[in-house]
Structure 1
Amino acid sequence: MALLITDDCINCDVCEPECPNEAISMGPDFYVIDPNKCTECVGHFDEPQCQQVCPVACIPLNPAWRESREELMAKYERLTADKAA
């Protein structure tokens, strides 16, 4: 699954720089996560870094975007290859 940021977000700006895939950006009202780039930090870290630094715990799993660990790893490999190219 990709992660999502709920409307409990206080726009504290700590999650965006922690994302190794640059999946987090400012939305119209609060930060958002691009599910096409979110790997839950699979391939980079043991745990999602945005969840680790979020002071209000507003970054749950996105139930609308279900992915297995294998799918997340494949996405990580694709994103890494795209960056290297």
Structure 2
Amino acid sequence: MNALTMVIIGVVLVAALIAAVWWGSRRTSRRAPPPTPAEQPHYPAGTDRAPGEIQEDPESNELPLRDTRLTPHNLKDGDTEH
């Protein structure tokens, strides 16, 4: 490739990048504005949860306290295959 070809490719590439930024800017400006706080959904009166949401206490993942260090072969059902 000669130098003129490289210059032409560079100019086309820069023009494509400028066009992409301009097109993205136009798309962003046409987007609807975010909702105001008054337009946000609210929880039903008298609750702090969404309808149908169930609040459960998760099972504890903690191991019981021991005097000695627990090694992998001391664990029950330590394999990952079911």
TM-score by shorter chain over 0.5: no
TM-score normalised over the length of structure 1: 0.19
Q: Larger radius of gyration, structure 1 or 2?
A: 2
TM-score normalised over the length of structure 2: 0.19
Instruction: Please state which structure has a larger fraction of its residues in strand.
Output: 1
Instruction: Please state which structure has a larger fraction of its residues in helix.
Output: 2
